[in-house]
Each structure stands twice: as structure tokens, then as C-alpha cells.
């Protein structure tokens, strides 16, 4: 008979647990959500900003700019196309055609002030 009494007493406790289960689930997921928010603001957002700046630099290349490729080649831009460019390297004026995405930095300083 103790077994039957235990089942009757456990029923109200399970209703209370079910009501508090939503709060328990929220409290368990809150740290995970906070971790994702912190990762977004510390890692993802700054990386997207850097990617936009690099894309802007690559799209604003001009003939005569001195560039450094991701492979470490330094050269001066001779001609531009939609997705490739030709750079001139070294004293023997050898020319290399590279993809725009391979340009890591532009060493030429441009005046962005409108005339």
C-alpha cells in the first residue's frame, strides 16, 4: 500500500516540476546564448568589417599602385581587368597576371578628398 500512496503524492510534485521546466530550460540555454553573442561581437563582426575593407581596397585599385600579394610578391599594377590584374615586378620589368583576391595590401597612398 505504500506504493500506491507514493504515486498519489508524486503527482502534484510532477506538475510543479513541469511548470518550472520551462524556467529550468531557459536557465540552461542562457549561458550558451551569451557565448554566441560574445563570439559575434568579438570575432564575427570585426572579421566581416575587415573583409569589407579589404574588398573595398581591391575594388579601388588603380594603374600605378604598388601592391603586395598574399604570396609576398611586390609589384606595380600595369593593367586591370574585372577579376585579374597584371603587375610588374623587379628591375627586369617582368609581368605577372594575378587574381584580384590575391592582393593583400596596397602600399600607394591615395587622396580620398574630392576635388
In order of 6, 59, 99, the CA distances from 77 in angstroms are 84, 13, 12
Beta strands (DSSP E) in 1-115 are 66-69, 74-80, 84-89, 94-99, 103-106
Q: Is 13 helix (H, G, I), strand (E, B) or coil?
A: helix
State the residue for C-alpha cell 574588398.
55
**Cα-based torsion angle of the residue sequence 105, 110, 114, 115 in order, rounded to the nearest 10 degrees:** -160
- 62-106 is a CATH 2.30.30 domain: yes
From first to last of the 115 residues of the chain, give the pLDDT tens digit. Answer: 555 555 544 445 555 555 567 888 888 999 999 999 999 999 999 999 999 999 999 999 999 999 999 999 999 999 999 999 999 998 898 999 999 999 999 998 877 655 5
What pLDDT does residue 66 have?
Answer: 95
What pLDDT does residue 102 have?
Answer: 96
Q: Is 33 helix (H, G, I), strand (E, B) or coil?
A: helix
What pLDDT does residue 15 have?
Answer: 55
Bridge partners, 75 (sequence order): 67
What pLDDT does residue 70 have?
Answer: 94
Amino acid at each position: 500500500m505504500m506504493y500506491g500512496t507514493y504515486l498519489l503524492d508524486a503527482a502534484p510534485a510532477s506538475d510543479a516540476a513541469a511548470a518550472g521546466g520551462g524556467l529550468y530550460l531557459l536557465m540552461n540555454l542562457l549561458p550558451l546564448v551569451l557565448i554566441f553573442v560574445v563570439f559575434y561581437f568579438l570575432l564575427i563582426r570585426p572579421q566581416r568589417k575587415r573583409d569589407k575593407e579589404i574588398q573595398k581596397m581591391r575594388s579601388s585599385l588603380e594603374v600605378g599602385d604598388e601592391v603586395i600579394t598574399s604570396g609576398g610578391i611586390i609589384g606595380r599594377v600595369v593593367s586591370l581587368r574585372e577579376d585579374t590584374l597584371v603587375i610588374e615586378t623587379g628591375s627586369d620589368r617582368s609581368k605577372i597576371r594575378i587574381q584580384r583576391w590575391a592582393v593583400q595590401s596596397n602600399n600607394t597612398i591615395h587622396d580620398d578628398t574630392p576635388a
